[in-house]
Chain A
Amino acid sequence: MIILEHRHSHHPSRPHTIAVFGAGLVGGAIVRSLIHAGAVLASELPLDWRSGERQQQDLERIRQTILPNHRGGHLERLDLVWAAGKAGFGATWAELDGEMTTFENIIRWAVALHGSASDMQVNLHMLSSAGGLFEGQRFVNRESQARPLRPYGATKLQQEIFAQRHCTGMGLHIYRPSSVYGFGGPKGRSGLVNTLIQNATKHAASRIFGDMDTVRDYILASDIGSFVARGILTNVTLASISTLASGKPTSIMEMLRIIGRVVERPLYLKLESSPSNAGHITFSPSILPAHWRPTDLETGVRQTARHLGLYFERGPEGGDRAALFSVG
């Protein structure tokens, strides 16, 4: 996990600490946006997911890193960002068990942290999944009910409910992004867009799970990063739940055409007939937050291809963690 500090220009003596759990595709984008907005990378600490005992030790170390600032009478606000997740859309209950346990431990830890310094404003920013919650639903609007169809979505819903139950007295902001794409470094999970771009570059075949007409909603990770960072660093009023979607349905066919245009290479495809990932998920524009301005899909794909291309050219030595969080 990553700890950042931000000093507002009008209150330089009162630092604002932000702790980000998970620095993958979305978490990394949030960290980059925070740094871009003036936050400083303070420290990077490990968090064990396998052993409960080691996890508690790691959390205690994180608490000790954060709290001295407060004891010094400076820290007024702490924002915790949960953007971690080890299991993907097709994960089983067994694979998701560890994630749920870690999430519960961190929420309990955050509640205890808030209890030990009740004069400090603590906010939890939780990244959930609109795709998991509304899988198989189209025209999702404010009245739509979350009806997960698989363990991944059900776990996300359980996490939301758990956070709402336990985070009393804390500010809780839940973000529900749709299908996220963008450059997230070498370790992160590779989604449809990244896989297609990378395979086209390597002249390798891509396996498509779903029909050519499977309609989804795609958003760029950096858009989420900017939105969440603005919510953390400015006094903009955030809704308790923000659905971060583009409001523009995109079929696999359209996505393939866009990527083909961007990479200017043939896309070799293998279509998997398995219907398990063929459900449509689309969102009505009326559900989108007021200050949310998603990037146009083709522009986003071009940006992603450029970042992937640069990483491909520079190789692993040019893509170390420091570089991943660098701005520009």
Chain B
Amino acid sequence: MEWHLTMASDSPIFVSIVVPVYSGESYLRSLTSQLDAIRADWRQRGLPVDLAEVILVDDSAIDGSPTIVDALAGEYDFVTALHLMRNFGQHPATIAGILHSSGDWVVTMDEDLQHSPSDIERLLRRAILTSADIVYALPSRGVHQTRLRDWGSRGFKKLMVLLTGNTNIQRFNSFRLLRGSLARAASSVCGHETYFDVALSWFTRRVETVKVDLKDHRFIETGRSGYNFWRLLTHARRLLISSQVKIVRLFGLIAVATVLVSIIGSLWLLIERVFFPSPTLAAGWTSLMLVLLFFGGLVTFMISLVLEYLSIIVLATHGKPIFFAVDRSIDRPLAAYFATESR
């Protein structure tokens, strides 16, 4: 009997949706039915892409969400319920969901309809047409509709960019479209303290954004938000721990400059003493300062060197990869579809 080894090539591009759930009982049914409508619409329009699964990750929710998550998994065959043993936080819940996904593309979104399922196709279109690996949703205007809070959010991101040198931080958003291979690889390497979006940037530089109308309905309606000052501090800490902190290198440079200044000063002092001797008012003061500068600079430089080594070890422990291969050829059918549609 003759048998040809062939790979299944007629399968569509699969999209997985991951939703961490913490207090979403009021929104989950509506969110799932909207996603179901998108799924039906794509099938009806003949898009070579299938919204294959929705993974609802119950992060030990504080309301009636777990029951609703199970009910939805029973009602919709594309919904998977995943219950975490305790509240691990949004990033670990997202990572857990991604590690249970097998789509070619993975969309992560919030439970509270802040992120509209209708925007998923726009993210996908941008990713395919620009050969990007990550597409973040970028708020077209204030998410919270209070200036103080929106400015605070932007200011925090700018400060983090300054400290870490990672310009992508300004684009970070929990509504994101990720290439499946990248999402699973980055999730695999994430440790307890790794900031997920920083881990993503270890794998790819092809990051795009799409402006969408994002509104924190929960905050606007109830004044409650998933974020508070302490959570913001935790985010900052994890961002700094996961990133190679730029400020350490700055200290290293300052230290080197200090040592150089002390050496030049010492030489100048020596030349002055030998060729232009003059009586000094406070004997030894300048020499003492130069010695302090030299050793101070040297010690600071050594500390910054140790910190740099430590940073390399921490990043290696966090799982920063040496390389990661990608196959973007799977995008072709969808690229062809979008090209035909735009004609």
A residues at B contact (CB < 8 Å): 93, 135-139, 141, 147, 149-151, 154, 211-213, 215, 247-251, 253-254, 256-257, 275-276, 278-280, 282, 284-286
Chain B residues near A135 (CB-CB < 8 A): 8
Chain B residues near A149 (CB-CB < 8 A): 5-8
B261 contacts partner chain A, Cβ-Cβ < 8 Å: no
| B1, B11, B99, B324: the one within 8 Å of A138 (CB) | B11
Nearest to A216 among chain B residues (CB) is B102
Interface residues of B in 62-91 (CB under 8 A from A): 77, 80
B residues at A contact (CB < 8 Å): 1, 3, 5-8, 11, 14, 52-53, 77, 80, 99-103, 180-181, 184-185, 187-189, 319, 324-325, 327
> Contacts A138-B102, A139-B102, A212-B325; is A253 near B11 (CB within 8 Å)?
no
Main secondary structure of the interface of B (DSSP, over half): loop
Nearest to A248 among chain B residues (CB) is B100
5 A-B interface contacts by CB (under 8 A): A93-B1, A213-B184, A213-B185, A249-B100, A284-B77
Q: Across the A-B interface, give the 10 residue pairs with the lowest CB-CB distance, nearest first.
A: A136-B8, A213-B181, A249-B102, A254-B188, A282-B102, A251-B184, A257-B188, A253-B185, A215-B102, A253-B188
Chain B residues near A212 (CB-CB < 8 A): 181, 185, 324-325
Contact between chains at A279 and B77 (CB < 8 Å)? no
Contact between chains at A257 and B101 (CB < 8 Å)? no
Nearest to A287 among chain B residues (CB) is B77
Give, as a whole number of angstroms, the nearest-CB distance from A193 to chain B: 15
**What CA separation (Å) do A135 and B103 show in the bound complex?**
16
> Contacts A213-B185, A254-B184; is A139 near B5 (CB within 8 Å)?
no
Chain B residues near A286 (CB-CB < 8 A): 77
Give, as a whole number of angstroms, the nearest-CB distance from A286 to chain B: 6
**What CA separation (Å) do A251 and B179 show in the bound complex?**
14
Chain B residues near A141 (CB-CB < 8 A): 77
Contact between chains at B325 and A139 (CB < 8 Å)? no
Contact between chains at B77 and A251 (CB < 8 Å)? no
Contact between chains at A138 and B7 (CB < 8 Å)? no
> Which of A93, A151, A253, A278 has the largest count of B CB atoms less than 10 A from its CB?
A253
| A150, A211, A249: the one within 8 Å of B3 (CB) | A150
| B6, B77, B180, B319: the one within 8 Å of A213 (CB) | B180
Nearest to A276 among chain B residues (CB) is B5
Chain B residues near A279 (CB-CB < 8 A): 7-8
Contact between chains at B52 and A138 (CB < 8 Å)? yes
Chain B residues near A139 (CB-CB < 8 A): 14, 52-53, 102
**What CA separation (Å) do A149 and B3 show in the bound complex?**
8
Chain A residues near B185 (CB-CB < 8 A): 212-213, 251, 253
> Which of A147, A212, A275 has the largest count of B CB atoms less than 10 A from its CB?
A212
Chain B residues near A154 (CB-CB < 8 A): 3
Give, as a whole number of angstroms, the nearest-CB distance from B98 to chain A: 10
Contact between chains at A136 and B3 (CB < 8 Å)? no
Chain B residues near A249 (CB-CB < 8 A): 100-102
**What CA separation (Å) do A276 and B4 show in the bound complex?**
12
> Which of A213, A250, A253 has the largest count of B CB atoms less than 10 A from its CB?
A213
Chain B residues near A211 (CB-CB < 8 A): 181, 325, 327
Chain A residues near B6 (CB-CB < 8 A): 149
Contact between chains at B7 and A275 (CB < 8 Å)? yes
> Which of A247, A251, A254 has the largest count of B CB atoms less than 10 A from its CB?
A251
**What CA separation (Å) do A205 and B184 show in the bound complex?**
24
Contact between chains at A257 and B5 (CB < 8 Å)? no
**What CA separation (Å) do A233 and B71 show in the bound complex?**
33
> Contacts A154-B3, A248-B100, A254-B99; is A285 near B80 (CB within 8 Å)?
yes
Chain B residues near A251 (CB-CB < 8 A): 181, 184-185, 188
**What CA separation (Å) do A250 and B99 show in the bound complex?**
7
Q: A138-B103, A254-B184 are in contact. List 13 more A-B contacts (CB 8 A).
A: A136-B8, A137-B8, A147-B8, A154-B3, A212-B181, A212-B185, A213-B327, A215-B184, A253-B185, A254-B188, A278-B7, A280-B102, A284-B80
**What CA separation (Å) do A211 and B187 show in the bound complex?**
17
Chain A residues near B184 (CB-CB < 8 A): 213, 215, 251, 253-254
Give, as a whole number of angstroms, the nearest-CB distance from A170 to chain B: 28
Nearest to B323 among chain A residues (CB) is A212
Chain A residues near B99 (CB-CB < 8 A): 248, 250, 254
Chain A residues near B188 (CB-CB < 8 A): 251, 253-254, 256-257
Chain A residues near B1 (CB-CB < 8 A): 93
> Contacts A212-B185, A212-B325, A254-B188; is A137 near B11 (CB within 8 Å)?
yes
**What CA separation (Å) do A139 and B16 show in the bound complex?**
11
Contact between chains at B319 and A257 (CB < 8 Å)? yes
**What CA separation (Å) do A48 and B259 show in the bound complex?**
82
**What CA separation (Å) do A139 and B257 show in the bound complex?**
60
Nearest to A217 among chain B residues (CB) is B102
